Every structure is written in C-alpha cells, then in structure tokens.
Amino acid sequence: MTHEMITLGASPLSCPSVHLFPRAESRGAGALNQNGFTNLDHLYSAETQLTCATEVFVNNTEDKLCLYANLMVNFSITYITSEDKNETAVFTLPDGDKVLTTGSSCDNTSSTLELSFGEGHSWAMSFSKEVDTYQADSITFDYNLNDSSLFPNAKSNETMSVKVTLKDLTKVPVDTCYSCKSQDFIQEGVVNQTLWNVLIQAFVANGSRSAAISSCVADLPVVTTTAPTTAPTTQTTTQTTTQTTTQTTTQTTTATTPAPTTATTPAPTTATTPAPTTATTPAPTTTPSPPLPPPLTGDYKVSTIFNGTTTTVCLMAKFGLRVSFTHEEKSQEMNLVPNVTSVSGTCGTNSSELVLSNSAMTLVFMFVNESRFYLHAVNVTITPSAGEVFNDANDNLTLWAASVGSSYMCNKEQSFNISNMLTFHTFELQVQPVDVRDGKFSTAHECSMDDTSLLIPIIVGTALTGLILIVVVAYVIGRRKTYVGYQTL
C-alpha cells in the first residue's frame, strides 16, 4: 500500500555557519535570484551554500511519520550556451520551506523521497527494505535548462535527467537513522552532486523517529592499536639468616657426695626468612610518530562532454601534496594518496574547478581564467582518525599564476599558508586549468624557485668575465710600463 506525503516541515534546527566559500555579497557578486540561488556568471558568487539543511517529514495516510530526511546537497552542472561555450551552474538544494514533496511515497518494502524545486527541477532518492535492514538504491536528478535563473543563455531548453546507483548507504538497521556528516561526491557526466550532513530514516516504525544512529564509514574514527614497549624485569632478593646457640655447664664436688649438675639447654634457633621479591615494570614508552615520506605525484584530469558524445580534457594538474593543519590544538600532517583519490570538477569560460576526494580528505581547487589564470579559492575537509571533522577555506588567493595558453610549473617543494590553521606543501607541481590542447601541458611558466637555478651559471659567468677583464687591464698596464722603461734607456 502506497502512502502519500501529507506534511512537510522546515528545519527547526539552527543553521550551520560553515561555508565552503564566503558569501556572495562579500565579493560584490550580486544578489541572489528569485529562487534563492546565485549564478556562476559572477565568479564564485555562488556560495556553495551551506545554509539551512533541507529537512522534510513524509507522513502516511494515517498522518504518521514514515520517512524523515535532513540533508544538504550541492550541485555543479556544466552546460552549453547559445555561443557554444561551456558554462557551469552552481546551486544548492533549497531549504525545506522552498521544496515540494508531491512525488514522495512510503510502503512496506520501498519508499521514495522526491523533492521538487525551482522551475521544473526535482531530486529523488529511492529506498528498499529487507527483513532487518534498509538501503538507498539510487538518486534521480532532473534539471530544466530552460530555467534562465540557473542556466542563463543556455542553448538547450530541455529537461535533462541523470540517475546514479548508490553503494554507500546500505544495510542500515531498521528503526535507526543513517548519519553521514562527511562530504560524498557523486559525478555522472556533466553533473556533480555533493551530499553532506545527511540524516535519514526510511521505513519509520509507529510514526516515531528513532534516536539510534548508524554512522557512515567516512565518519567513523580510525582506531590504531600500538603495543606498549616493556623494559626487562629487574628482580632483587635480600636474605638474612641469624642463628645463635649458647650452652654453659658448671660442676662442684664436695667429699663423696656428687654435686647436682645444672645444664642450660641450647637456646632456640632464630631465623629470619627471606624478604618478599619486588619486581618493577617501567611504564610503556611512547614512540614519536616517524616523519611522513614525500608524497606521491598524482596526475589529475577533468574532461568535458561536447554534443553528448565527445570527451575533451579541459583541466590538467600534476603534483604531490602534503597538507598540514592544526585541529583541536594539535598539529597534524597528511599526504594526498593519488591511487585512492577520485577526481571530478568542472570547466567554464571564466572559471574551473578541481575536486579531489578520498576517505580521509576532500580538496576543492577553484581557478579564475582571465587573460591569466590563477588559483583563486581552496576548500579543505579532513576526516581525522578521531575527533571532529576539520574544515577550512580561503577564497582570496592568487597562487600558481600564468598566462592563458601556458601552464604553471614548480618542481621544487613549495609551502603555501592557506590560513593560520592550514598549509599546503606541493612537490613537482604543474597545472593548467584552461585552454588544454590535445590532452597535454602547454609551455610552462616556471616558478621563481626554479628560476633561481639559472642564477648560478649567470653568477659564475659574470665572475669569470670580470676576472678576465682584470687580467687584460693588468697586462696592458704592465706592457705600457715596460715600453716606457725601454724609451728611458
């Protein structure tokens, strides 16, 4: 039996204050449009908006809660303009009071959460239930390119649809809430979706949401067990034995009568038993963490799709990266591991984005592409082995700059203070976020650190030239003095 949603509730919770990038108005990028979104036309004016979460309550026909969701979803979609150029629309799933849930439904073995918003857009997650567990099977996202507030100057006016199969939200015990604070990046073609701060309970029993939580793997702390170091046991035994025997005999004879004999029997022997053995075991020794090895160099590429078929590389990056950060009053370091890192991103006329994500960290690099390109903004989310998730960002950077049509390269190690809590250390860096041709890096603009390698031969050459000049001048002066001497004679 299918039960349609009756009640929709906006989140009564306080809104989180974390933002991937500062608010649009702080950069003078323009106001939000009528749907509460910001266009990418004003670069990064789209606050990858971490405003209030979208919280919805799906009730059945008996007016009892059957499905609950509180989550945040960010969208990044590349589309073609009427000038046949690529643009990127960035927006978020609106707050609960700006969505409709007409298509949501519940029954005993399957449920659907469908959220409609804006001008013809919808986002749906389907669930299925087994005996004791439930799971999310897929996400279907429909977006209307005819919505000029989100897709200005779009060449197409069609409604596009993408469907992705989910693999992470599985085997959630019935009558528990699934929770995942970590970011989950989902890419399908030109559509990138980021889910985070997710709290969902499907198949709610008796209309009452459970307080039990089932956390995703990314949120779980990594427990490291270290065997303590025990020094050899030292044992000291002290033994003292004292034994004393005293005997005295006195004899007196008078006439023929024997005198009585008095004898003193030996005194009892006194012995001191050994003292108990005392063993001392030193406390476990704490070994400091060894230094991290140099990070491996990874090759990262972002591609665009033209006419639905042709794939072209539009962004290239190659580097090794170590991230240093201060979290909970503790300095930590992590290397980015290329072979377990997924790559996604977008390419636009005036902007490009590279997203690198694995179970330990998510890095978002945003580039400005004008007559010169440069790294404009960075967002970092790190899931430490224990404690709260670390998040930091800076959208006021001018790093890795070079002319459009070239690449930026720096082979030496460089350190960049992203904030007072976050530092990047790069190794063998080369990036080109725009105008990539034939999937290869263009001529590189080398960083000043690499340019200094040319100073040594220049200095040596200058010194040799000066030395030669000194020798020549000295020789000429010497010859003149010799010539004057001959004339005097």
Q: pLDDT per residue over 292-314, tens digit each?
A: 899 999 999 998 766 555 678 99
Most confident of 188-192, 367-371, 417-421: 417-421
Q: Are residues 191 and 338 in the same domain?
A: no
Mean pLDDT across 462-481: 83
Mean pLDDT across 473-485: 73
Per-residue model confidence (pLDDT) at position 222: 57
Q: Which residue has the higher pLDDT, 160 or 347?
A: 160
With residues binned 3-state (H G I as helix, E B as strand, rest as coil), the percentages for the chain, rounded to 5, are 10, 45, 45
Structure tokens at 124: 């749906």
User: Quick one: which of 349, 405, 401, 357 has its CA closest to 379?
Assistant: 357
Mean pLDDT across 316-329: 93
Q: Are residues 304 and 165 in the same domain?
A: no
Q: Which residues, 6 or more positions from 54, have their beta carbon under 8 angstroms from its beta carbon?
A: 11, 69, 70, 71, 72, 73, 93, 94, 95, 96, 99, 115
Secondary structure letter of residue 221 according to DSSP: P
Per-residue model confidence (pLDDT) at position 329: 84
Structure tokens at 430: 């080369």
> Is pLDDT at 336 greater than 90 in this prediction?
yes
Q: Are 388 and 454 in contact (CB under 8 A)?
A: no
Per-residue model confidence (pLDDT) at position 281: 55
Q: Quick one: 391 exposed, middle or buried, by C-beta within 10 A (0-12, 13-18, 19+)?
A: middle
Q: Are residues 215 and 312 in the same domain?
A: no
Q: Are 386 and 369 in contact (CB under 8 A)?
A: no
**Least confident interval from 90-99, 319-328, 427-436:** 90-99
Q: Are residues 167 and 310 in the same domain?
A: no
- Tens of pLDDT along 18-43? 333 433 333 333 333 433 333 333 33
Reported confidence tier of residue 90, pLDDT bands at 50, 70, 90? confident
Q: Are residues 310 and 163 in the same domain?
A: no
Q: Looking at the domain assignment, is residue 461 inside a domain?
A: no
d(CA 448, CA 436): 23
Structure tokens at 85: 């150029």
Q: Looking at the domain assignment, is residue 244 inside a domain?
A: no
Reported confidence tier of residue 96, pLDDT bands at 50, 70, 90? confident
Q: Looking at the domain assignment, is residue 107 inside a domain?
A: yes
Q: Looking at the domain assignment, is residue 239 inside a domain?
A: no
d(CA 307, CA 46): 26
Task: Tell me what percent of the residues of the chain surpass a pLDDT of 90.
Answer: 39
Q: Which residue has the higher pLDDT, 243 or 216?
A: 216
**Least confident interval from 97-101, 148-152, 286-290:** 286-290
Per-residue model confidence (pLDDT) at position 334: 93
Residues pairing with 306 in the sheet: 310
Q: Looking at the domain assignment, is residue 18 inside a domain?
A: yes
User: Quick one: which of 125, 99, 80, 103 has its CA closest to 35?
Assistant: 99
Q: Are 426 and 319 in contact (CB under 8 A)?
A: yes
Other CB atoms within 10 A of residue 61 CB: 12
Task: Tell me what percent of the residues of the chain surpass a pLDDT of 70.
Answer: 69
Domains of the chain: total: 2
Q: Are residues 215 and 302 in the same domain?
A: no
Q: Are residues 210 and 303 in the same domain?
A: no
Per-residue model confidence (pLDDT) at position 425: 96
Per-residue model confidence (pLDDT) at position 244: 38
Q: Are residues 24 and 167 in the same domain?
A: yes
Which secondary-structure segment (H or E) carries 257? strand 257-258
Q: Are residues 327 and 202 in the same domain?
A: no
Which secondary-structure segment (H or E) carries 248? none
- Tens of pLDDT along 373-402? 999 999 999 987 666 788 899 989 999 999
- Among residues 192, 219, 246, which one ends one of the domains? 219
List strand residue ranges (DSSP E) for 348-413, in order: 351-357, 361-369, 372-382, 390-394, 399-403, 407-410
Q: Looking at the domain assignment, is residue 476 inside a domain?
A: no
d(CA 149, CA 140): 22
Per-residue model confidence (pLDDT) at position 487: 55
Q: Are residues 75 and 182 in the same domain?
A: yes
Mean pLDDT across 264-276: 50
Mean pLDDT across 429-445: 94
Q: Are 166 and 139 in contact (CB under 8 A)?
A: yes
Other CB atoms within 10 A of residue 225 CB: 4
> Is pLDDT at 228 greater than 70 in this prediction?
no
Residue 312, domain extent: 298-446
Q: Looking at the domain assignment, is residue 481 inside a domain?
A: no
Reported confidence tier of residue 346, pLDDT bands at 50, 70, 90? confident
Residues pairing with 347 in the sheet: 352
User: Quick one: which of 295, 339, 343, 354 has its CA closest to 321?
Assistant: 295
Structure tokens at 119: 């001008």
Q: Looking at the domain assignment, is residue 256 inside a domain?
A: no
- Among residues 219, 252, 285, which one ends one of the domains? 219
> Is pLDDT at 280 greater than 50 in this prediction?
yes
- Among residues 219, 254, 289, which one ends one of the domains? 219
> Is pLDDT at 224 greater than 70 in this prediction?
no
Look over the chain and give the mean of its residue pLDDT values, rounded to a whole number: 77
Q: Which residue has the higher pLDDT, 236 or 277?
A: 277
Q: Quick one: 51 exposed, middle or buried, by C-beta within 10 A (0-12, 13-18, 19+)?
A: middle
Q: What is the CATH number of the domain that holds 138?
A: 2.40.160.110
Per-residue model confidence (pLDDT) at position 286: 53
